[in-house]
Structures are given as C-alpha cells and as structure tokens.
Amino acid sequence: MAMTEEDYMKQEDEWDRKQVLDPAWERQQRKTFTAWCNSHLRKAQTQIDNIEDDFCNGLKLITLLEVISGEKLPKPDRGKMRVHKIANVNKGLDFIASKGVKLVSIGAEEIVDGNLKMTLGMIWTIILRFAIQDISVEDQSSKEGLLLWCQRKTAPYRNVNVTNFHTSWKDGLAFCALIHRHRPELIDYQSLKKDDPMTNLNLAFEVAEKYLDVPKMLEAEEIVNTPKPDERSIMTYVSSYYHALAGAQKAETAASRIGNVLSMNRENEQLMEEYDRLASDLLEWINRKKPWLEDRSVPELTVPALQNKLDDFRAYRRQEKPPKAEQKGQLETAFNTLQTKLRLNNRPPYMPAEGKLLSDIHRAWRGLESAEKGYEDWLLSEMRRLERLDHLAQKFKHKCDTHEAWADGKEDNLANNNFKSQRLNELRALHRKHIAFESDLAAHQDRVEQICAIGQELVTLRYHAVDQINERCQKICDQWDLFGSLTIKRRNALDEAVKILENIDRLQLDFAKRATPFNNWMDGAREDLMDMFIVHTLNEIEGLMEAHKVFEDTLGEAQTEFNTVVDLGNQIKQLGAQYDTDAANDNPYTALTVEDVTTQWSELTNLVPERETALKAEHGKQRAHEDMRVHFAQKANIVGPWIENKVEVIMNLFSQPQGSMEEQLEQLQLFDHDATLYKPYMEELEGLNQAVQEAMIFENPHTEYTMETIRVGWEQLLNNIRRYINEMENSILTRDSKGITDDQLKDFRAAFNHFDKNHTQKLEYVEFRSCLVSLGYDVGEQDGDPRRDAEFQRVLMNVDPSRVGHITFQAFLDFMSKESVDTDTAEQVMESFRVLAGDKSYITADELRRELPPDQAEYCIERMAPYSGPDAIPGALDYRSFSTALYGQSDL
C-alpha cells in the first residue's frame, strides 16, 4: 500500500541504534554529510576527509558546532589520550543537548571508536537542529516546512510533484525547478527532459555549486540507480538550497529597499540642484537689470534720446520680462514640489543657499518692479519737461529776436547829443521824438521782463543750452540798462535845448502821440498772434479760442484808431503839399510813417485768420486725443472688473471649497484656460496704452483704471491661479501618497480657512496654534507667548524651518499628513544594509557592487565613511552613519 503524505510526515526522525542501513544509503549519507560538514568547516579554514575518523578526537566536532551556531564552546582538551578525546566529544554532545536535542543511543565512546553508523546519526542530528529545524513556512516548521517550501516553489513547473525527500527528486527536475524559480537566468528549464535524469541532476549540482555556493553533496548515478534514494541525504542537500536561495531573496529585498531610497535621494538632489540653478539665473538677471533701470544718465538729454530709452523699456517689458516672470513661477512650483516630496518621504525640508530663499527671490523681484516703476515715471516726467523746455526755448528766441530787431541802432542814436547844428524845428522834433522813444522804451520794459523770466525758467528746468540762454539774456539786460542811462542823458540835453527852441508842429506831434502807442499795440498784438502754444485738453484749447474771439471783438475799435492815425498822416501830407515844405516829409517826433502803420496793420489783419486756423487745427487734435481717452477707458472698464471678479471668484473657491479636490483642480485649470483666452484683450489694451503714451496723453478722467493697475491685477490673477493649481496638485499628491481621505483634507482646509481671517492663505503663529487645538492636536501649555512653548517650537521647526513668521496651507497639510501616516525610517534602511553585509557592523565595496545596481553602488561608496570599529578590515565602510545621513539626522 502506498504511503500517504500524512503518514510520511509521521515517520520518526530520531536515530535507531538497531536499524541496519542500506549500503547504498550509507554511501550517500557518508558523501552528503561529509560535503555538508565541509561547507561549514571551510569558514574556519579546515575540512574532513573521512567522516568516521576525523571526528574521533572531538576537535573538529567542536569547530563545526561553533561555526554553525555562532557560539563559543568550552575550550577542548589538547591531549591525545582516549580520555581527552572522549571529553572533547562529550563537550560537543552536551552542547547539542543544550539546544533541546535528544541524543538517543549516541555516546562519545562510539564516536571516538569511529562507529560510522553512530557518527552519521550524530551528524544527522546536528543537521536537523541547525539546518532544518528553524525552517518555517506558513506555520509549518522543520521537515514539514522544508517540504512545503519545495512544493510552493515548484508548483508552477510541469513534470514536478514533490511529495517526499526521496523518489520525488530522482529525475532532477525538482532541483532544476528550485534554481530556475529564484535564478531563471542560470537554467533553461524548457529544454529539460524528464526522461534524462542524469543530465538534469548533473546540471542542477554544477549550477548550484558554481552560482549558489552549494557544494556537490550527491552523485547523480547513485540517485538514478537507487530505487529509493536516501531521504536524509536529499533533505540535507535541499536544506542547503533553502538557505542559499532564501538568503538571496532576503538580500534582493534589502537591495531593492536601499535602491528605492537611493533613487529617491538622488532625484531630490537633482531637484535641489535645478532649484539652485534657476534661482541663481533669475537673481543674476535681476541684479543685471536693476542698475539699468536705476540709471538716469543720458548722453544728450533730448526728446529723441528719451524716446529711444522708452522704446527699449517697452521692449524689455513685453519681450524680456515675461519669460523671467514665468521662470519665477516655475521656481516657486519646483520648490513647493520638492518640499512636498521631502516631507512625504520623511526627509528634512530643503534649505536653499543663503540669499536664494523664496523670500529672497520675492524681495529681489519686488525691488525690480519698484525700479521699473521709478524708471518709467522718470522717463515720462523727463519727456514732459523736455517738451516744455523746447516750447520755452522757441518762445525765448522769438522774443529775443523781436527785441533785438527793435533795439538795433538805438544805442547810437541815444549816444548822439550834438544839437548845435540843428534848427529849431529839428530840435523840437528831436525832443518830441525822444519823448515818444521813452514811451516806447516803457512799453518794451514788459517784453524785457518776459525774456528774463523765460530765461530763468529755462535755467531752473536744466535746459541743455543754458549757457547760450544766459549769455543772450545778459546781453539784452546790459543793453537795456545802457538804454536807460543813455535815455536819461539825452532827455536832459534836449530839455535844455528846447528851452531855447519852441517852434513845434502840433499836427506832427498829434500823429506821433497816436501812431506810436498804436504801433506798440500792434507789435504786442502781432507778437501774441505769432506766439506758440501747447495744450493737453479740450478745455485749454477752447480757452485759447475764447481769448482769440475776445481779441477779434476789439478789432473794431482798433480799426477806428487806425483810421484816425491815417487821417492825421494824410493831413500832414496835404499841408506839406499845400505849403510846399520839406518839414512835412520828415516827422521830427516819430520815425513812423503812414506807410509803416498801414503795413503793420495789414500784417496784423492777415495774422488773425492764420491764428484762428491754427487754433482750430489744435482743437481737432485735442478732440482726437479725447477719443483715444474714451476708447482706452471703455476697454479698461471692461478688463479691470473682469480681472477683479476672477480674483474674487478664485479666493471664494479656496475659502469655501465645493466638491472633490479633482473637481476643484479642474475648476482652477478652467480659470487658467480662461485667462489664456483673455490674453488678447490685455494685448489690445497694451496697444491702446502705447498709443495714448505716444500721443503724450497723461490724464484720463473717464476711468479709474490705469495700465499699471490693470497690469498688476493681471499678474496677480495669473500668479494666484498657478499657485493654487500647484497647491491643489500637491494636496492630491499628499492625499494619494499618505492615504488621507477627502473628508480629512476638507476638515484640514476648513480649519485652516476658519483661522485665516484676512484670506492671505497664511496663518500667523497664534492662528496656527488655535487651528491645531481645534483639530485636537496637543501643543502644550501656552504661557502668553507661543514661541516660548517647547512642543509648539518643535511643530514650528517642521512647518516653518526658515522662520518667516507664517505657515502656508501646504506646510500645514504636510505636517498633519506626517502626524497621521508612518513612512520608512533610517532604522529600516540601516537594517537592510545589515542584511546585505551578512550581519556585520560594516560593509565592503565588493558587497555593495554585488547586491546593488552599479550606479546606486557607486553612489553609496562615494558617500560612506570608512568603518573604524574594533572588527574593521581594510576597505570596510560605515553603513550606519550613511543611513542616518540619508534622513537628515547628520551630514551626508
């Protein structure tokens, strides 16, 4: 009757003294047990050749037990007498018995006498205790566990059915299946044949010895030719497979854990390097641009030069700055993602190099924008100032030209006081002419004062040709002072002469009295009509047009005065013709003639319509400017409220979240898409703003929005959308990796928003403490100042390592997630290295290269410090300090 598996397991494994071994089994056990013993004795640099003789003195028995148990046995006796040998063997047998093994019918005398059967029984007992008893698979141990392990590993293989430790192994396929299951690259199982057991067995024995370090303990011929191979020999050999393959699997698991940790660490290092590179590049660009924006020097301070600078500034705003603003957003996203990964994997927060913190980046960016604002204001202010200067300079030149034309030759006339040769009527004429000149001089006093005032204003406004202005103004003032002194001298001389000469022509005097002031009035009116003007609004040009209308209304009275002057001149000519005298041809009281007054009047009447035409043209220009203001205001009044509405909607979305985080993320992505579609409206508004600036339009009463406020609102909207998308993605990543539910996340968000009173997405320390307490987190007693609380300080080190004074929602979420879920620790990684090192306190470079992928092995070798313990060997590496450094508990 065939034996069942249950009956098979119930067989007695203890050694029967009276049992007679089958010779074939005895040979198999001798070879197998000898090879098994040598596989352990070689660790002590020794071996046995004859199993019944080499254990007789007990020395190698003690050595074998020390190697396989890892414990020290009593010091053996070194004598060669029989009593010494028996004592040594008894020490080994006593040690075996101390491990809970019953040595039935095995005595030290029989081992000393070389009893083969007893010696094989002793070795089998040792194998059972130290190689098979500790095997445990699915609550089965020892022989049952080993058999169950073989069955589990070979179950998927065809032609393999392991039910025992003798006949199930005769065809060799079970041995090959065990090797292929763990090391498929060593055996091509599909090429094996069940009817070729010799080939299968020899292949398994050779591969196990060469690649698994399992010595050859069996002979293929004996297994094939024996109807029932020796069970103990097979069990001994298979147990060596178990220890070799199970240890390799354990090492593979340990290597996999270390590989995952190292890969994660290297990825984080790459993210840190990328952040440092992006931060350095952005800061270098900002530091390069700020001096340019703060430079106020211009080689030649003219309108074209400033216009070139304004064009360069606009090109910078539209082409150079936007990519850098996007780079700044990428930098913030990369930093937040890195910190999230570090916290999720139980790593310390990343602290950028000094000067490269996010706060440093934000501070530098704010400085850049402040410099931009100052530079733009300076450009526009200088443009207005230079335009004003050009207008004043042209006005100054026109008045100077007029004055110099009037003053030409007068100095010589005033300096001539020789009246001895003059006739009475000529002297009277000179006297009256001088009186008229004094009147004319007084009338020109206002023009000289205007010239001085305009010159002083040009100096105050730093006109570039101020030296020429001062020189010309000084020349006119000096000449004017000279005119005053010369006039007084000439008047005194004429008064003295007039006392003697009294014959004056009344009619010529009346003509001079009327013609001279009228001519001065015409000079002033002509100067006003030719005066250049600059206006910026419709009201200003309409004011000038109203003043011109008032002037036109006075032309009727001027026409009457003109007719009176002409009539006086005609009367003088009639009297001269009537009395045939040359005196009528030369008015001694004035240099003016009827022709002069007529010509001046004709020019004046021609200037009136020209002035009216110029005013109407300017009125049309200002009307066009007003249309541009209205057009810009209409667009700005649409874009501005749209941006403000979107900002408010996004803030409400985060303060009062609805739906799942994926739905909220989708809503934010829709907002980002809407903002992208709205960008053409911003570009259109930028174009309108440029046209307004190029037209030198500086004020717009039709809208409260300026391009600067809209631009700031637009950038704030884009930054909020991207920041909230990044925050939501990190929240989803935290939820998925930590196993946190949506309800937990909603509770965290609701608590955070409740204490975020000013909706800044940041909590001050006091608000943060209150939020933790509301969630049931114990942060210790509060003594009036939260920063002095020890427990609260520990929490702050996690959520605000840089001590910026506030806690973001992401930092708050990472802390709450970390408090809820455990991750791998430095102790777990240290234990994995200990497995790879074979329980040693150190590990070697060769062991790392054998167990880990090449790049990970070299990474560890470069960073591990030399091991300096008492059991150190050359090339030993300290994996303990390296494991600690991986988790930020010391320097790597």
- At residue 843, φ and ψ (nearest 5 deg) are -140, 150
Report yes or no on whether pTM surpasses 0.75.
Answer: no
DSSP type of residue 843: B
672-703 burial by CB neighbour count: b if 16+ within 10 A, else e? beebeeeeeebeebbebbeebbeeebeebeeb
Q: Which residue in the block uniquely carries the two structure tokens 């806690």? A: 807
Q: Please write the tens of the pLDDT for every residue from 134-189.
A: 676 666 667 888 888 888 888 889 889 999 988 889 898 999 999 998 888 989 88
Distance in angstroms (rounded) separating the CA atoms of residues 376 and 384: 13
Structure tokens at 736: 């998925």
Cα dist from 564 to 138, 567, 606, 890, whole Å: 137, 5, 21, 110
The answer to whether the beta carbons of residues 630 and 702 sit under 8 Å apart is yes
State the burial class of residue 427 (Cβ atoms within 10 Å of its Cβ: 0-12, 13-18, 19+). Answer: buried
| Side-chain-side CA neighbours of residue 891 (13 Å) | 1
DSSP designation for 704: S
CB pairs under 8 A, 24+ apart, for 352-356? 352/275, 352/276, 352/279, 353/276, 355/283, 356/276, 356/279, 356/280, 356/283
Residues 448 and 601 sit within 8 Å (Cβ to Cβ): no
Residue 449: half-sphere exposure toward Cβ, Cα within 13 Å: 6
615/607 Cα distance (integer angstroms): 12
Spell out, as residue ranges, where the chain has pLDDT lower than 70: 1-22, 104, 134, 136-141, 247-256, 299-301, 417-425, 427, 494, 496-505, 575-585, 654-655, 737-739, 778-789, 818-825, 887-892
Sequential DSSP letters for 208-246: HHHHS-------HHHHHHSSS--HHHHHHHHHHHHHHHH
Helix (H) / strand (E) element for 438: namely: helix 424-460
**Cα separation of 699 and 540, whole Å?**
14
Are residues 433 and 588 in contact, defined by beta-carbon separation less than 8 angstroms? yes
Provide the terminal-to-terminal Cα distance of the chain, rounded to the nearest Å: 68
DSSP string, 714-731: HHHHHHHHHHHHHHHHHH
Question: Three-state DSSP class for 257?
Answer: helix
Q: Which two tokens mark 705? A: 């929005």
State residue 9's pLDDT score: 43
- How far apart CA 193 and CA 207 sit, in angstroms, is 17
Facing residues of 843 across strands? 877
Residue 420: name the closest of 430, 410, 406, 408 by CA.
430
Per-residue pLDDT of 614-672, as tens digits, reads 888 878 877 888 888 888 888 888 888 988 888 888 877 766 777 777 887 888 888 88
| Buried-state track 556-583, b at ≥16 Cβ within 10 A, e below 16 | eebeebbeebbebbeebeeeeeeeeeeb
One-letter amino acid identity for 779? V
What does the block give as tokens for 411? 């100095």
At 866 the pLDDT is 92
62: number of CA atoms within 13 Å, CB side? 19
Structure confidence at residue 582 (pLDDT): 55
**Using CA atoms, how far apart are residues 424 and 854, in angstroms rounded to an integer?**
128
User: Hey, which bits of 285-333 come out as E strands?
Assistant: none
- The residue type of 369 is E
How far is the C-alpha of 682 from the C-alpha of 888, rounded, in Å?
47
Q: Do residues 333 and 722 lie in contact, with contact meaning Cβ atoms separated by under 8 Å?
A: yes
Per DSSP, the residues of 562-594 read HHHHHHHHHHHHHHHHHHT-GGGGS-TT-S--H
The Cα–Cα gap between 378 and 536 comes to: 19
What single string gives the DSSP state of each residue in 328-395?
HHHHHHHHHHHHHHHHHTT-PPP-PPTT-SHHHHHHHHHHHHHHHHHHHHHHHHHHHHHHHHHHHHHH
Backbone angles phi, psi at 140, to 5 degrees: -105, 140
Instruction: List the one residue out of 519, 411, 371, 390 whose CA is nearest residue 457.
Output: 390
**CA–centroid distance for 148 within its chain:** 58
Instruction: Specify whether the CB–CB gap between 852 and 260 falls below 8 A.
Output: no
Helix, strand, coil percent values for the chain (each to nearest 5) = 70, 0, 25
